């Protein structure tokens, strides 16, 4: 069950991120840690990579906003990071960046049955997603793709 303060923390973090040209990608309040830890993941609104300086700068701005809000009235650690990889590919930039990487594609067929395919990402264009499955190119219509996520290379 999420912490009751999480929605308010998420709203505050989203507002602060927007003022700094970032967007919030994820937030967690880890109350089992001592002191508790607020983990916030951000990315640039324009899609550019987040670096260590961006995280440090945002940490200061968000830290001040958290102190002013008085939402957290006990000791806490604030951790700012980028979302990293291992997530769903969504943007055109994601699909360009991870060409040739192993992916798992979840898609529907013409009978609306769900399937999963593993292969290497080739490209995504206006009509289809293309993956290489053991040397064979598989084209999946974009409107049938449910999700694409990075996976670990198989041994």
Residue 52 exposed, middle or buried by CB count within 10 Å (0-12, 13-18, 19+): exposed
31/5 Cα distance (integer angstroms): 11
Q: Which of 2, 19, 6 is nearest to 72 (CA)?
A: 6
User: pLDDT tens-digit profile of 139-148?
Assistant: 999 999 999 9
- Please say which residue of 81, 106, 123 terminates a domain: 81
45 located within any domain: yes
At 155, the pLDDT band (50, 70, 90 cuts) reads very low
90's torsion region: left (phi>0), alpha (psi -120 to 50) or beta?
alpha
Residue-number span of the structural domain to which 31 is assigned? 6-81
34 and 10 share one domain: yes
Verify that 111 and 146 share a domain, yes or no: yes
**CATH number of the CATH domain containing 36:** 3.30.300.70
Domain boundary among 81, 108, 139: 81
Domain count across the chain:
2
Residues 143 and 106 in one domain: yes
Same domain, residue pair 13 and 60: yes
Q: What is the tens place of the pLDDT at every residue in 11-40?
A: 999 999 999 999 998 899 988 888 999 999
In a domain? residue 155: no
pLDDT digits (tens, 9 = 90+) for 101-121: 999 999 999 888 899 999 999
Are 20 and 73 members of one domain? yes
> Which one of 20, 55, 81 terminates a domain?
81
Are 12 and 64 found together in one domain? yes
Q: Write down the pTM of the prediction.
A: 0.58
pLDDT tens for 50-76 read: 889 999 999 999 999 999 999 999 999
Q: Are residues 40 and 21 in the same domain?
A: yes
Residue 75: per-residue pLDDT:
93
- Asked if residue 1 is part of any domain, the answer here is no
């Amino acid at each position: 069950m999420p912490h009751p303060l999480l929605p308010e923390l998420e709203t505050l973090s989203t507002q602060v991120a927007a003022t700094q040209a970032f967007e919030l990608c994820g937030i967690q309040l880890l109350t089992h840690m001592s002191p508790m830890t607020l983990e916030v993941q951000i990315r640039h609104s324009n899609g550019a990579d987040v670096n260590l300086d961006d995280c440090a700068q945002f940490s200061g701005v968000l830290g001040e906003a958290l102190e002013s809000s008085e939402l957290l009235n006990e000791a806490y650690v604030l951790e700012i990071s980028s979302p990293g990889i291992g997530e769903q590919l969504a943007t055109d930039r994601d699909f360009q960046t991870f060409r040739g990487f192993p992916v798992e594609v979840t898609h529907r067929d013409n009978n609306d049955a769900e399937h999963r395919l593993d292969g290497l990402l080739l490209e995504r264009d206006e009509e289809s997603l293309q993956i290489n499955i053991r040397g064979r190119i598989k084209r999946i219509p974009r409107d049938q793709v449910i999700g694409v996520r990075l996976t670990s290379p198989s041994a």
